[in-house]
Amino acid sequence: MTEYAVVGRRLPKLDAVAKTTGETVYLGDMKLPGMLHGKVLRSPLPHARIARLDTAAAARLPGVRAVITAADTPRVKFSFVEALADKYLLCTDRVRFIGDEVAAVAAIDEATALQALDLIEVEYDELPCVFDPEAAMQPEAARLHNGASNVAWEVHQEFGDLERGFAEADEVFEDRYETSRVCHCCLETQAVIAQAHQGGRLEVWAATQAPHTLKHELDRLLQLPPGSVRVHYPPIGGSFGNRLVADMKAPIAAILSRQTGKPVKIVNSRTEEFETARTRYPYLVTMKTGVRRDGRIVARAARVICDNGAYNDKGPSTVASAGVTFAAFYNVPNVRYDGYIVYTNKQPGTGFRGFGNPQVTFAGESQLDMIAERLGLDPLELRLRNANRAGEAAASGARPGTCPMAECLRQAAAKIGWQRRRELPPNRGLGLAAMLHTGAGARMYGYNSASAGLTVDEEGKVTLVSSVTDVGQGAQTVMAQIAAEVLGIGLDEVRVIGNDTDLTAYDLGAWGSRTTWVNGQAAREAALRARERLAQSVAAWLEAAPEDLEFQGGKIFVRGAPDRGLDFAQAARLTYTKRGEPISETGRFVDELGPTMKGWGDVYPTFSTACQAVEVEVDPETGAVRVLQAVAVHDIGQAINPMAAEGQVEGALAQGIGYALMEELLLDGGRAVNPTFADYKIPTFIDVPDPQVVLYSDPDPTGPFGAKGIGEPGLVPTAPAIANAIYHATGARLRSLPITSERLFTAMREQPAAPGPRRAAETPEPPGGASPDQRADGSGPDKLQR
């Protein structure tokens, strides 16, 4: 491993002091001169026609400055994918879920705005509802939109020869799994401020993960000329995919501002956030796997039914992304993936950390443990025999450049003490799960590139202008570390600015673990260009060739002669004063396959892999589960900031524990019945053990300094690892999330009285006997017979 001065160091985030002292200003803290407060009237019914809508009384209320309905909007249908547009920003004649936007008001304060909502009269004619996605797929089901069916979108891909693969398998297993509707639970609820200017320009302040995308979405929604919208993106109090696509509050606030001539702010209450904000998509997954008796997987098929909710959002992206990963995960020659996105009368879903991969990985990794037991193999051994290898092409054509999956599996097993599986006391169990995920975003949008600008002022201070959206993950700090490493200066000499689409170059935003890999390369290129300019500037003074100069420790000196050098700041001053040159450079990273990718094998520029292992204890009297230990071994390439990367994994693990054991937005007739933190449970410090996070270092030659992304992978394998550990502890296999104490208690009571799984043949020898190189406890090299 190359030793760096700034890259790879555990350095605090640039905004750490501001956030811990309360100096940081979030959108909810902002107040513009003359600002009005907006509120949205939402449907109380899951499906109905709007028979009558009267806003006259609300408009007459003192303090109300505007009331709008669909008649005041451009009546343009919207979705993230334009071809699938299905939603007006205010309902025209029909509502499709409880929370659908019907009208909106702007008033001098929030209390007046809420009072005005109560004065709006709406009469509805109720329509038939459909809440179950499988029922919604039936020909006789009530239609939500005007299509031939409630299937909003579907995808089908096959690689290899699935039928032949299943025919050649010694055993074929088919199981069904279900995941839940989960809320993002950001500490900051969704909010927006919009100010329409007289010249036609619209200025928006939004907590968004994709500000440049939002800018274009508002152009579409409001039918504005290109370039009309400016988006400011202040610090964000959590996102996790919740802020990727334009929320209707933004165009609503813009129209209210246009009508009043004042800035308008709309903020969700916590209850509104639970009841109306988009959630993780629930999946129904049917997993079919064909294996040989030695554990080699020869065929695999997944059928996914995604509960879309009432409107399209990120459904196609998440379902397709899950398929791309499924088709590459493990060394399986024959793969098929079928995905269906189905309308129901529920609040819509959207992207959530992992982008569909946690749902399908829960199914696949749960089933692998079930298959291992059926074959009499150790679950770790089964995974090692099918692990992806660097340079080996998957059935889809995807070819991970670096892929230490087997090493991650072994390290996780060793650290959790996998060899203890037979020795654990009753009601304790060990489980593990692996995962594969993108480490660099995705090319599916035809663009996966970035640019950055860097200047060095006359005092040697560096300013990096980057499009990165820092959602709390430390993206700006990582960009600063990359620039500082290239220029040989300290992190405190670099500041990063952005947060304004008028200032920054076009960028796709923060999602898919893309920021470090994509934006980091642009930042590195900009710093390299500035370094070249400085080297050319001072080479004559140092009587050396530019290529013979080193940048290190805040100095520029001749290689091999550190006494022949200048301070970095001195070199900058000489460049300005003696050469009369500014030091201002642009760095570009172009992912050339973005517009030309040919199939699923090209979607992800690089892959990350991981294994998580947990130990649980189950109370047999209540079904309550405690996660006693958690080990997470993640392939991250070269960690730019190990402390920040570990924080990403630790936070993801906490979310994964919630996903596995407690989180679910419960709906009754389309209405949320637990829309507060009193009833919607998320993990606290009591529920989350102090995890062992291992950042496996295998530098990726395609990333900046060998780095890959880490934001999403930490959540992907947690739920199946916990489910597998629960089965090991109790013999109860639950195929639905979350595994609440009630569900587990019931499942345990339904188990036969025979000994649990650990009493059966466990950690058996592979067929033909086990050699020292085939140990499944994490202690041996990977020399499996294939």
Q: Could you tell me if residue 521 is inside a domain?
A: yes
The CATH number of whichever domain residue 41 belongs to comes to 3.90.1170.50
pLDDT in tens, 104-117: 999 999 999 999 99
Q: Could you tell me if residue 668 is inside a domain?
A: yes
Q: Could you tell me if residue 4 is inside a domain?
A: no
Residues 59 and 207 in one domain: yes
Whole-angstrom distance, CA of residue 266 vs CA of residue 5: 45
Q: How confident is the model at residue 785 (pLDDT cuts 50, 70, 90)?
A: very low
Residue 697 CB contacts under 8 Å (≥ 6 apart), including other chains? 1, 636, 637, 638, 639
Look at the alpha carbons of 182, 281, 96, 103 in this order and tell me if their dihedral is positive or negative.
Answer: positive
Domain count, the chain: 3
Whole-angstrom distance, CA of residue 344 vs CA of residue 181: 13
Mean pLDDT, rounded, for 324-346:
97
Residues 741 and 605 in one domain: yes
Q: How confident is the model at residue 752 (pLDDT cuts 50, 70, 90)?
A: confident
Residues 464 and 406 in one domain: no
Q: Could you tell me if residue 695 is inside a domain?
A: yes
pLDDT in tens, 310-326: 999 999 999 999 999 99
> Contact, 417 vs 617, CB < 8 A?
no
Residues 206 and 119 in one domain: yes
Whole-angstrom distance, CA of residue 236 vs CA of residue 210: 12
pLDDT in tens, 66-99: 999 999 999 999 999 999 999 999 999 999 999 9
Which CA distances in Å does 431 have to 213, 231, 366, 724?
40, 45, 10, 5
Enclosing domain of residue 102? 31-127+187-239+243-276
SS3 assignment, position 122: strand
Amino acid at 252: I
pLDDT of amino acid 761: 38
pLDDT in tens, 384-421: 999 999 999 999 999 988 999 999 999 999 999 999 99
Whole-angstrom distance, CA of residue 693 vs CA of residue 479: 23
Which CA distances in Å does 211 have to 15, 29, 89, 162, 472?
20, 19, 19, 42, 15
pLDDT in tens, 22-64: 999 999 999 999 999 999 999 999 999 999 999 999 999 999 9
Helix (H) or strand (E) holding 110: helix 110-119
Domain boundary among 541, 557, 590: 590
Q: How confident is the model at residue 758 (pLDDT cuts 50, 70, 90)?
A: low
Residues 585 and 628 in one domain: no
Q: Which residue has the higher pLDDT, 758 or 759?
A: 758
pLDDT of amino acid 762: 47
Residues 640 and 693 in one domain: yes
pLDDT in tens, 593-629: 888 888 999 999 999 999 999 999 999 999 999 999 9
The CATH number of whichever domain residue 346 belongs to comes to 3.30.365.10
Q: Could you tell me if residue 457 is inside a domain?
A: yes
DSSP 424: P
Q: Could you tell me if residue 56 is inside a domain?
A: yes
Residues 271 and 287 in one domain: no
Mean pLDDT, rounded, for 769-781:
34
> Contact, 337 vs 327, CB < 8 A?
yes
Q: Helices 515-542 & 475-487, crossing angle to 10 degrees?
A: 30
Whose structure tokens read 């007289």? 198
Strand order of the sheet with strand 583-589? 494-497, 462-466, 450-456, 583-589
Q: How confident is the model at residue 782 (pLDDT cuts 50, 70, 90)?
A: very low
pLDDT in tens, 532-556: 999 999 999 999 999 999 999 999 9
What phi and psi, each to the nearest 5 degrees, are found at residue 393?
-80, 135
SS3 assignment, position 596: coil
> Contact, 342 vs 305, CB < 8 A?
yes
pLDDT in tens, 649-668: 999 999 999 999 999 999 99
Percent of the chain with pLDDT over 70: 96
The CA-based angle 535-541-546, given to 5 degrees, is 25
Helix (H) or strand (E) holding 203: strand 202-206
Residues 641 and 582 in one domain: no
Q: How confident is the model at residue 774 (pLDDT cuts 50, 70, 90)?
A: very low
Residues 503 and 435 in one domain: no
Minimal CA–CA distance to 10: which of 486, 637, 639, 472?
639
Mean residue pLDDT of the chain comes to: 93
Look at the alpha carbons of 494, 499, 501, 502 in this order and tell me if their dihedral is positive or negative.
Answer: negative
Tokens of 101: 């936007």
pLDDT of amino acid 594: 85
Three-state helix/strand/coil letters over 51-91: EEEECHHHHHCCCEEEEECHHHCCCCCECCCHHHCCECCCC
Strand pairing report for 625-637 and 692-697: parallel
Residues 361 and 438 in one domain: yes
Q: Could you tell me if residue 164 is inside a domain?
A: no
pLDDT in tens, 696-741: 999 999 999 999 999 999 999 999 999 999 999 999 999 999 999 9
584 strand-pairing partners: 455
Q: Could you tell me if residue 175 is inside a domain?
A: no
Residues 285 and 426 in one domain: yes
Classify 356 in phi/psi space as left (phi over 0), alpha (psi -120 to 50) or beta: left
Amino acid at 513: S
Whole-angstrom distance, CA of residue 429 vs CA of residue 275: 36
Residues 484 and 550 in one domain: yes
Q: How confident is the model at residue 266 (pLDDT cuts 50, 70, 90)?
A: very high
Whose structure tokens read 């500082």? 484
How many CB atoms are located within 10 Å of the residue 118 CB?
A: 11
DSSP 198: T
Collect contacts of 224-227 with beta carbons under 8 A, ≥24 apart: 224/200, 225/200
